[in-house]
């Protein structure tokens, strides 16, 4: 930013997100009006990455299977794959694993795997 005069140039920089649109309004509190929020001195440590061999993936698959079973029960035992994601989304509510589970539900490999309580023909999931 070239300066041809003595004005101080500033750039607006986001340092903190108080609330995301999908979070509960009471979950976080915004700073009082007129006060400037400050950036923390140290960034929080990131959570360690989960390995794919961990039990977390099996837990996600179990939670996804339970959600699919609930959707099938509500729909009389059959649902089109293109409608499955939205219905599982509604069943999961505010689950912290919702995004990962929706990715599983959208996967043909997950839906067509052996040993599931449903059948998948490429377009329809049925019990």
Give me the domain span that covers residue 110.
Answer: 77-127
Is 56 a member of any domain?
no
Confidence of residue 25 (pLDDT cuts 50, 70, 90): low
DSSP 119: E
Is 115 a member of any domain?
yes
Is 42 a member of any domain?
no
Report pLDDT for 12: 83
Separation between Cα atoms, residue 68 and residue 118, nearest integer Å: 9
Separation between Cα atoms, residue 63 and residue 96, nearest integer Å: 11
Is 84 a member of any domain?
yes
Please state the rounded mean pLDDT for residues 37-41: 48
The better pLDDT of the pair 33, 82 is held by: 82
Is 30 a member of any domain?
no
Q: What's this model's pTM, rounded to 2 decimal places?
A: 0.54
43-57: pLDDT as tens digits: 444 444 443 334 567
67-111: pLDDT as tens digits: 888 888 888 888 888 888 888 888 888 888 888 888 888 888 888
Percent of the chain with pLDDT over 90: 0
Is 11 a member of any domain?
no
Q: Measured on CA atoms in the order 24, 26, 28, 30, is the torsion positive or negative?
A: positive
Is 49 a member of any domain?
no
pLDDT at 6 over 80: no
Q: Name the average pLDDT for the chain.
A: 75
């Amino acid at each position: 930013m070239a300066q041809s005069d003595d004005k101080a140039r500033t750039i607006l920089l986001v340092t903190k997100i108080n609330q995301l649109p999908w979070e509960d309004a009471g979950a976080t509190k915004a700073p009082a009006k007129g006060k400037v929020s400050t950036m923390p001195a140290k960034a929080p440590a990131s959570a360690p990455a989960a390995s794919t061999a961990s039990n977390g993936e099996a837990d996600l698959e179990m939670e996804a299977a339970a959600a699919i079973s609930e959707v099938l029960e509500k729909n009389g035992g059959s649902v089109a794959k293109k409608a499955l994601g939205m219905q599982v989304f509604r069943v999961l509510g505010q689950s912290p694993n919702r995004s990962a589970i929706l990715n599983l539900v959208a996967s043909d490999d997950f839906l067509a795997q052996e040993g599931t309580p449903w059948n998948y023909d490429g377009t329809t999931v049925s019990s």
